[in-house]
């Protein structure tokens, strides 16, 4: 199997895992403070990542990779989890999922700035079309909308795109699971105190759904998903494979409706389907 094809397969698996992140965050943030959720998910994932690195006897990364690892951690370990948790206090997960359609464009832009990739004009046209669908929906949606929630989601998407591109670039040198593992360990000294200082006064009243949400975002969203995702970006190209994120809203909306019984409007579904159609065109035009 060609390495590019393997990259698309790994990327698709990563996107499928990430699709459950916002619904799971919605469940967890209903009973956990947003800051605690951010710190706890990163702390739990970092402990597992450290164990994996120790068992595999991985050498310490070179000094030149520390700053890119810090940027990766800022985007995907701190920025996106915290900002989405805050946003989900104001909007539904179904509403927030639509913003994920902006991620491919942000990732592609940072792939050019940081990864040295140069997609063709047709690629950018399809990427812009997908982003325009999402932005247009956000401006016109009236159900579940919140200016503060929307602003937080936009900021989260920008930081996440940066973290994806930086991590995908590093994965070519370190490997996919190594990148997210070192990024988690780098953030650990900050995230552990945050989790301890913001933890709820009583855990006995926390329901099983919130615990399940915390477990999912800690194990799958924060670690396992990135193992496949960064490997896919490194193998198939950051900008190209990044377009698979246009499929994530479609998967996430289904999970939000199925698990959380949140309403999925015709507008949400229409925008998502248009975004999904753009991934095919972007794939054909990507180098």
> pLDDT tens digit string along 75-90?
999 998 889 888 888 8
The pLDDT of 171-178, averaged and rounded, is: 87
Question: pTM to 2 decimals?
Answer: 0.82
pLDDT at residue 191, as a whole number: 94
pLDDT above 80 (res 136): no
| Closest to 76 (Cα-Cα) out of 118, 114, 107 | 107
Confidence at 143, pLDDT banded by 50, 70, 90: low
Mean pLDDT of 136-157: 74
193-202 own/partner pairs: CB under 8 Å, 24+ apart: 193/39, 194/35, 194/36, 194/38, 194/39, 195/36, 195/39, 195/40, 195/42, 195/43, 196/39, 198/33, 198/35, 198/36, 198/39, 199/36, 199/40, 200/31, 200/32, 200/33, 200/36
- Average pLDDT of the chain? 84
Percent of the chain having pLDDT more than 90?
Answer: 34
| C-beta separation of 171 from 183 below 8 A | no
Local confidence band at 115 (pLDDT 50, 70, 90 cut-offs): low
**Where residue 43 falls among pLDDT bands split at 50, 70, 90?**
very high
Q: Cα separations (Å) of 69 from 64, 104, 178, 179, 238?
A: 9, 21, 10, 7, 16
Using a pLDDT cut of 70, give the percent of the chain over it: 90
pLDDT value, residue 145:
61
> How far is C-alpha 202 from the chain's CA centre?
30
| Contact between residue 190 and residue 139 where contact means Cβ atoms under 8 Å apart | no
Rounded mean pLDDT of 228-242? 86
pLDDT value of residue 258: 75
For residues 162 and 185, give the distance between their C-alpha atoms in angstroms, rounded to a whole number: 19
Which secondary structure element, helix H or strand E, spans residue 46, and what is its range? helix 34-55
205-228, pLDDT tens digit by residue?
889 999 999 999 999 999 999 999
Per DSSP, which regions of the chain are E strands?
none
CB atoms under 10 Å from CB of 72, counted, come to: 30
What tens digit of pLDDT does each residue of 240-285 get?
888 787 777 777 777 777 776 767 677 777 777 787 777 667 766 6
More confident residue, 137 or 96: 96
Selected residue with higher pLDDT from 114 and 6: 6
56 neighbors 243 (Cβ within 8 angstroms): no
Q: What is the Cα–Cα distance from 233 to 228, expressed in whole angstroms?
A: 9
Per-residue model confidence (pLDDT) at position 142: 45
Residue 170 sits at φ, ψ, to 5 deg, of -70, -30
Of 70-79, 84-93, 138-147, the poorest mean pLDDT is in 138-147
For residue 1, pLDDT over 70 is answered with no
Q: Encoding tokens for residue 176? A: 């996919």
DSSP string over 218-254:
IIIIIIIHHHHHHHHHHHH-HHHHHGGGGGHHHHHHH
- Give the position of tokens 């990135």: 226
C-beta separation of 122 from 60 below 8 A: no
Distance of CA 269 to the CA centre of its chain: 20
CB 110 within 8 A of CB 269: no
pLDDT at position 204, please?
A: 83
25-45 core/surface letters (b: 16 or more CB in 10 A; e: else): bbbbbebbebbbbbbbbbbbb
- Give the length of the chain: 287
Residue 11, number of CB atoms within 10 A of its CB:
28
């Amino acid at each position: 199997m060609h390495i590019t094809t393997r990259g698309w397969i790994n990327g698709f698996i990563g996107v499928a895992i990430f699709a459950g992140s916002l619904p799971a965050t919605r469940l967890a943030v209903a009973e956990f403070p947003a800051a605690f959720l951010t710190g706890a998910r990163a702390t739990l994932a970092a402990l597992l990542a450290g164990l994996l690195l120790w068992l595999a006897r991985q050498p310490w990364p070179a000094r030149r990779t520390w700053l890119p690892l810090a940027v990766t951690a800022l985007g995907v370990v701190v920025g996106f989890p915290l900002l989405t948790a805050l946003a989900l206090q104001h909007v539904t997960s179904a509403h927030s999922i639509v913003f994920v359609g902006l991620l491919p464009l942000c990732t592609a832009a940072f792939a050019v700035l940081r990864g040295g990739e140069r997609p063709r004009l047709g690629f950018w046209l399809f990427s812009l079309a997908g982003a325009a669908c999402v932005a247009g929906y956000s401006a016109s949606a009236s159900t579940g909308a919140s200016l503060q929630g929307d602003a937080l989601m936009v900021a989260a998407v920008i930081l996440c795109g940066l973290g994806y591109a930086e991590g995908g670039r590093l994965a070519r040198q370190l490997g996919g699971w190594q990148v997210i593992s070192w990024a988690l360990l780098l953030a650990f000294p900050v995230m552990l105190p945050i989790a301890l200082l913001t933890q709820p006064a009583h855990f006995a009243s926390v329901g099983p759904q919130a615990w399940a949400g915390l477990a999912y975002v800690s194990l799958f969203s924060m670690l396992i998903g990135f193992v496949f995702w960064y490997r896919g970006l490194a193998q198939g190209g950051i900008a190209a494979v990044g377009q698979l994120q246009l499929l994530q809203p479609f998967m996430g909306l289904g999970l939000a409706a199925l698990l959380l019984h949140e309403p999925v409007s015709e507008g949400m579904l229409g925008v998502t389907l248009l975004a999904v159609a753009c991934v095919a065109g972007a794939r054909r035009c990507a180098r």
